[in-house]
Structure 1
Amino acid sequence: MRIGLVGYGHGGRHFHAPLLASLAGAHLVGVVTRSAERRRLLAEDHPGVAAFDNIGQLAAAGVDALVISTPLEGRPALVLEAIERGIAVVSDKPFAADGAEAAALIQAAAARQVPLCVYMNRRWDSDFLTLRTLIDSGALGRVDRYESRIERYAPQAVGNASGGGMLRDLGSHLVDQALELFGPVAQVYAELHYTPEEAVVDHGFFVSLSHVNGVRSHLSGSCLQNSPAPRFRVSGSAGCYRVDGLDGQEQALVAGRSPKTEGERWGVEEHRRWGWLEQGEQRERVASQRGAWNQFYQRLQNALQGRGELPVTAAEALATTLVLDAARLSAEQSRVVSMSGELEKKQI
C-alpha cells in the first residue's frame, strides 16, 4: 500500500510518519510540506522519502491513501481535496470545527464512495486497552462512574489554536474513548477554562456526560496542570481501577523510537507504571497490556484491502464531534444540553 502524508509538524513527524514507516507491506511515498526546515527534518528522519509542495503533486506520484496532519483551520479543505481526488483519507483529530463541517465531509466521502477515517490513536493506549479488558471481563462489576483525564504542564500550548483549543484537541480523545466504552450520551454539561491573557482559546476543560446506559463520565484536560490527577479512575460495584500517568507511546515516538526499532518491546509499560484494582482495603497491581498505536494503521491497511472495517468510522467521529459541540454550547450558556434536543437538529 502506498501512503502519503500531508503535514510534517509535531503530529505528522512524531505521531504518523514513524508508524507509517513501520507498517509492513506499505510504503511512505512522500510528505507534503513547503517548510525548508521541515524538509530538512524529513530528510534526516526518513532518507529517500520525497517532499512535495501540494496534494496534487503527491497524488500524481501514486498513493492509495492520504493522511492529513495539519492545523485544524485548513485541515477540512485538504480532507475534501483528497476525497474529490478519490483517494482514501485519514484525518487527524479533531475531525472538524463542528458537527456541520464534519457532516459535510462525511457526505462528500459517501457521494464519491471514498473511505474516510479519523486518527483516534488513543483507542490503543496501554491503559485504555487494559481498562476495556477489565470492563469486558466483569472485574469491575457494574460501572457507574468513569473518570478520564489528560493533564500536563505545557504553558507553551496556551493560545495555540492549531487544534481548536484543549476541548477540541485533547477532548476528542477523551470523548471518543467514553463513547467506545459506554455508548451514546443523553446529556452534556461542561466548563471551559481560559487565562486572562488568552480569553478565546481554552487551555482546560471539564465535561460531564450522562450516558444512555446510566454511566456518568467525567472528563477533563489541561495544559496548565502542575499536579495531574489519575489518568483513569473507574468505579464499579466490584472495585475501582486507577492508573496514573500517560501511556508511554507518545514519549517513545518523540524520542525517536518506533514499532520498527523496538519490535516486541514496543508499547510495553514498565511495571511501576501499571494501574491498581482496589476495593476497600484490598489492592492489587493490574499488568498493563501493550500499547499498540500501530494497530490503527494495520487495521486501516486491512480495511482498504477488503479485510475488515475501518479502525474508526466516520459515524463514530461525527458522534464525538457532536458531543464536543454540546460541551461548548453547555459552557457558553452554563446549562445542561440534551443530545436529543436542539443541538442534533441544528447540526445534522
Structure 2
Amino acid sequence: MRIGLVGYGKGGRFFHAPLIRSLPGATFVGVVTRSAERRQQLAGDHPHVQAFDTLEQLLAAGVDAVVVSTPLDARSAVVMQVIEAGVAVVSDKPFAHDAAEAEAMVRAAEQRNVPLSVYQNRRWDSDFLTLRKLLASGALGQVTRFESSIERYSPSSVGKASGGGLLRDLGSHLVDQALQLFGPVVRVYAEMEYREPGQVFDNGFFMSLSHINGVVSHLSGHCLQNAPRPRFRVSGTEGSYTVEGLDGQEDQALAGLSPATEGERWGAEEHRRWGWFEQGAERERVTSERGCWMAFYQGLQAALQGVGTLPVEARDALANTRILDAARQSAEQGKVMVLPVPVGHGTKNEINSKMS
C-alpha cells in the first residue's frame, strides 16, 4: 500500500510518519509541506521520503491512501480534495469544527464510495485495551460510572488553535472511547474553563454523558493541572478499575522511537504503571495489555485490501462531533442538552425510565 501524508507538524511528524514507515507491506510515498523547517526535519527523520509542494503532486506520484494531519482550520478542505480525487483518506482528529462540516465530509465520501477514516488512535492505548478486556470478562460487574481524564501541566498548550481548543481536540478522544465502551448518548452536560477573559480556545473542560444503557461517563481534560486525576476510574457492582498516567506510546513517539525501532518494547507498560482492581479491602494489580497504535494502520491496510472494515468508521466520528457540539452548547447555555435517540434504541420515555 502506498501512503502519503499532508502536514508535518507535531501530529504528522510524531503520530503518523513513524507508524507509516513501520507498516509492513507499505511505502511511505511522501509528505506535502512547504515549510523549509519541516522539510529539513523530514529529510533528517526519513531521508528517502519525498517532500511535495502540493496535494496534486502527491496524488500524481500515485497513492492508495492520504493521511491529512493539518491544523483543523485547513483539514476539511484537504479531506474533501482527496475525496474528490477518489482516493482513500484518513483525517486526523478532531474530525471537524462542527457536525455540519463533519456530515458534509461523510456524505461526500459515501456518495463517491471513497473510504474515509479518522485517526482515533487512543482506541489502541494500553489502558483502554486493558479496560475493554476487563469489561468483556465481567470482572467489574455492571458498570455504573466511567470516569476518564487526561490532565497535565502544559502552559504552552494554552490557547492553541490547531485543534480548535481542548474540548474539541482532546475531548474527541475521550468521547470516542466512551462511545466505544458504552454506546450512544442521549444527554450531555458540560463546563469549559478559560485562563483569561476573552480567550477563544478553552484550556479545560468537564463533560457528563448519559448513555442509553444507563452508564454515566464523566470526562475531563486540562492543560494547566498540577495534580491530575486518574486516567480511568471505572466503577461497577463487582469492583473498580483505576489507572494513573498516560499510555506510554506518546512518550515513545515524541522521543523519536517507532514500532520498527522498538519491536516488542513498543506499547509495553512497565509493571509499576499497571492499574488496580479494587473491591472493599481487596486490591490487586491488573496486568496492562500492550498498546498498539499500529493497529489503526494495519486495519486500514486490511480494509483497503478488502479484508474487514475501516479501523474507525467516519460515522463514528460524526456521532462524536455531535456530542462535542452539544457539550459546547451546554457550557455556553448552562443547561443539559438532550440528543435525539438513535434509531433502534427505544423511545425517549423508555430511555428516561431506564436511566431514572
In the superposition, the TM-score normalised over structure 1's length comes to 0.97
Match for residue 136 of structure 1?
136
Distance in 1 (alpha carbons) for counterparts of 2:290 and 2:148? 19
Check conservation: 1:206, 1:218, Cα contact below 8 A.
yes
Check conservation: 1:189, 1:331, Cα contact below 8 A.
yes
Distance in 2 (alpha carbons) for counterparts of 1:262 and 1:196? 42
1:151-198 alpha-carbon deviations (Å, 9 max, x no partner): 011111111110000000000000000000000001000001001255
Distance in 1 (alpha carbons) for counterparts of 2:299 and 2:199? 40
> What is the correspondence of 1:135-154 to structure 2 with a 5 Å cutoff?
135-154=135-154
1:194-226 alpha-carbon deviations (Å, 9 max, x no partner): 012552110010000000000000000011111
Match for residue 167 of structure 1?
167
Structure 2 counterpart of 1:140, one-letter code: L
Match for residue 92 of structure 2?
92
1:212-261 alpha-carbon deviations (Å, 9 max, x no partner): 00000000001111111100000000000000000000000010111000
Match for residue 78 of structure 2?
78
Distance in 1 (alpha carbons) for counterparts of 2:43 and 2:15? 17
Match for residue 243 of structure 2?
243
Structure 2 counterpart of 1:163, one-letter code: G
Q: Which runs of structure 1 show a deviation greater than 4 angstroms over 4 or more consecutive aligned residues?
A: none
Distance in 1 (alpha carbons) for counterparts of 2:281 and 2:21? 47
Match for residue 183 of structure 2?
183
> What is the correspondence of 1:287-306 to structure 2 with a 5 Å cutoff?
287-306=287-306
1:284-313 alpha-carbon deviations (Å, 9 max, x no partner): 000000000000000000000001100000
Check conservation: 1:159, 1:198, Cα contact below 8 A.
no
Gaps of 5+ in 1: 342-348
1:104-147 alpha-carbon deviations (Å, 9 max, x no partner): 00111111110000000000000000000001100000000000
Distance in 1 (alpha carbons) for counterparts of 2:56 and 2:229? 45
Residue 264 of structure 1 and its aligned partner are, at CA, apart by 1.2
Identity, in percent, stands at 69
Aligned residues: 341
Structure 1 counterpart of 2:91, one-letter code: S
Distance in 2 (alpha carbons) for counterparts of 1:161 and 1:110? 29
Distance in 1 (alpha carbons) for counterparts of 2:199 and 2:162? 16
1:15-68 alpha-carbon deviations (Å, 9 max, x no partner): 000000000000000000000010000000001100001100000000000000
Structure 1 counterpart of 2:249, one-letter code: Q
Distance in 2 (alpha carbons) for counterparts of 1:47 and 1:305? 28
Residue 72 of structure 1 and its aligned partner are, at CA, apart by 0.3
Distance in 1 (alpha carbons) for counterparts of 2:113 and 2:135? 36
Gaps of 5+ in 2: 342-356
Structure 2 counterpart of 1:123, one-letter code: R
Secondary structure (helix, strand or coil) at the match of 1:144 reads strand
Q: Are residues 1:316 and 2:303 paired?
A: no
Distance in 2 (alpha carbons) for counterparts of 1:161 and 1:172? 15
Structure 2 counterpart of 1:326, one-letter code: A
Match for residue 117 of structure 1?
117
Secondary structure (helix, strand or coil) at the match of 2:303 reads helix
Match for residue 16 of structure 2?
16
Secondary structure (helix, strand or coil) at the match of 1:189 reads strand
Match for residue 346 of structure 1?
none
Secondary structure (helix, strand or coil) at the match of 1:226 reads coil
Greater CA deviation, 191-200 or 159-168? Answer: 191-200
In the superposition, the TM-score normalised over structure 2's length comes to 0.95
Match for residue 253 of structure 1?
253
Secondary structure (helix, strand or coil) at the match of 2:162 reads helix
Distance in 2 (alpha carbons) for counterparts of 1:176 and 1:317? 8
Match for residue 336 of structure 1?
336
Secondary structure (helix, strand or coil) at the match of 2:208 reads strand
